[in-house]
């Protein structure tokens, strides 16, 4: 659905702030009570599972990805990437972020897109900027020139994850939206494979 708010409001009016939906193993809970949400968000991570069979995110990021892992697998995979996202390394990206953002704003001014009272949709501009910065920071100059290509290949996966559940049903055929996502992910992995390994054989970063 394009806008879930009317449906959520209707459910709240008819059934209260906490609603269970689904049948059989396909179930979900909608929690709209502030007190319950505070308690929910205060629970330890061990109380939640990501790697359940109906988590379609695994199709996009891979079923051995950190963000769909639980327990010991999650601890092991988190430890493997922790050094790559240390505070020191993240702070090292600040200069790149500031310089690239300033350059993009200057270009907007030169193009007179943010002067004269004109309304400018900053979403596509900001999205392109973030994508370029992320690719440059994580993969270096070698892939920076392909940021737009990488973002385009990611777009089908984003639309897939935002689509209704029935369109995300698994099938092995190279058809439809799911087949397109599978092909685009294959292309993304081919791009990553072009990035050379580190001097000590360190595992190359993943686009997913």
Using 50, 70 and 90 to split pLDDT, how confident is the model at 183?
very high
26 or 161: which leads in pLDDT: 161
Provide mean pLDDT across the span 7-31. Answer: 87
> What tens digit of pLDDT does each residue of 64-73 get?
888 889 888 9
Q: Mean of the per-residue pLDDT values for the chain?
A: 84
- How far from chain centre, in Å, is Cα 79? 20
For the chain, what are the domain ranges? Answer: 1-43
Answer with the residue of higher pLDDT: 169 or 80.
Answer: 80
- For 80-105, the pLDDT digits (tens) are 888 888 899 899 999 999 999 999 98
* For the chain, percent of residues with pLDDT exceeding 90: 24
User: pTM, whole model, 2 decimals?
Assistant: 0.65
């Amino acid at each position: 659905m394009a806008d879930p708010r009317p449906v959520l409001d209707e459910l709240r009016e008819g059934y209260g702030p906490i609603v269970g939906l689904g049948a059989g193993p396909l179930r979900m809970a909608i929690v709209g009570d502030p007190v319950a949400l505070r308690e929910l968000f205060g629970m330890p991570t061990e109380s939640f599972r990501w790697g359940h069979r109906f988590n379609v995110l695994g199709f996009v990021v891979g079923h051995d990805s950190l963000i769909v892992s639980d327990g010991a697998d999650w601890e092991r995979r988190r430890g493997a990437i922790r050094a790559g996202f240390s505070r020191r390394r993240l702070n090292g990206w600040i200069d790149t972020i500031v310089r690239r953002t300033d350059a993009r704003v200057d270009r907007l001014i030169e193009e007179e897109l943010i002067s004269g009272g004109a309304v400018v949709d900053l979403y596509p501009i900001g999205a392109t900027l973030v994508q370029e910065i992320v690719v440059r920071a994580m993969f270096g100059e070698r892939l920076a020139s392909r940021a737009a290509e990488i973002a385009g290949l990611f777009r089908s996966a984003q639309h897939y994850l935002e689509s209704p559940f029935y369109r995300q049903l698994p099938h092995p055929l190279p058809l439809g939206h799911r087949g397109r996502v599978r092909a685009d992910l294959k292309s993304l992995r081919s791009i990553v494979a072009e990035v050379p390994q580190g001097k000590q054989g360190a595992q190359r970063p993943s686009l997913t």
